[in-house]
Amino acid sequence: MNKRNTRAFAFGILIAVIAFFTAYFLNKPEQTENRTIDENSAKDFLQAKGYTVLSNEEYTLLLQTDAKDQTENKEVKEEPAEENTEQKVYQLTIESGMTPGEIAAILEKASVIDQAADFGNYMEEYGYSKKIQLGTFELNHNMSYKEIAKIITKS
């Protein structure tokens, strides 16, 4: 670079700094920095944005009623669970040519497992899919993937 290019570059930087300085210091912000916010203006602002504002007393009352509702729901939920202690046994028949995906789909339809894809992945991941035996097996909905896999592979 020669002197002329260096001076032109420096002059350009000087002009840019002056422009930024002017824009920064001459524009007045809409709100002053030392503005105090009182409780009512804060509540109004939050409510305008869609929030709900509660006092400490209202909040503790809400927590107490929520805790009561949860204990009542637990009591209600425990009663039906005691009535359904029977295990439904499902007889799975595996025939020649069935894939692990088909077996998983059958088990999902029978409500023995929740997700056929998860069970199929489990069988593949742990090597059970290559050891599936033919026959009829008794399964129930309380069994884990591991228990089901061990039964149908007889391992």
How many whole angstroms separate alpha carbon 129 and alpha carbon 122?
Answer: 9
* Phi and psi torsions of 137, nearest 5°: -130, 145
Residues 112 and 64 both lie in one domain: no
Residues 50 and 96 both lie in one domain: no
Q: How many domains does the structure of the chain reveal?
A: 2
**pLDDT tens digits, one per residue of 81-111:** 444 556 678 888 888 888 888 888 998 898 8
Evaluate whether residue 7 is within a structural domain.
no
The reported pLDDT for the residue numbered 9 is 93
CB count in 10 Å sphere of residue 129: 19
Show the domain range for 147. 89-153
Packed helices 145-153 and 116-125: angle between N→C axes, nearest 10 degrees: 60
Q: Can you name the residues that pair with 140 across neighbouring β-strands?
A: 89
Evaluate whether residue 23 is within a structural domain.
no
The reported pLDDT for the residue numbered 15 is 96
Q: What is the mean pLDDT of the chain?
A: 82
Residue 77: pLDDT above 80? no
Residues 99 and 63 both lie in one domain: no
Residue 79: pLDDT above 60? no
Residues 65 and 105 both lie in one domain: no
Residues 95 and 124 both lie in one domain: yes
Percent of the chain at pLDDT > 90 equals 11
How many whole angstroms separate alpha carbon 91 and alpha carbon 135?
Answer: 10
Q: What is the pTM of this model?
A: 0.44
Using CA atoms in the order 64, 65, 71, 77, what is the torsion angle rounded to 10 degrees? -150
**pLDDT average, residue stretch 50-75:** 80
Residues 107 and 145 both lie in one domain: yes
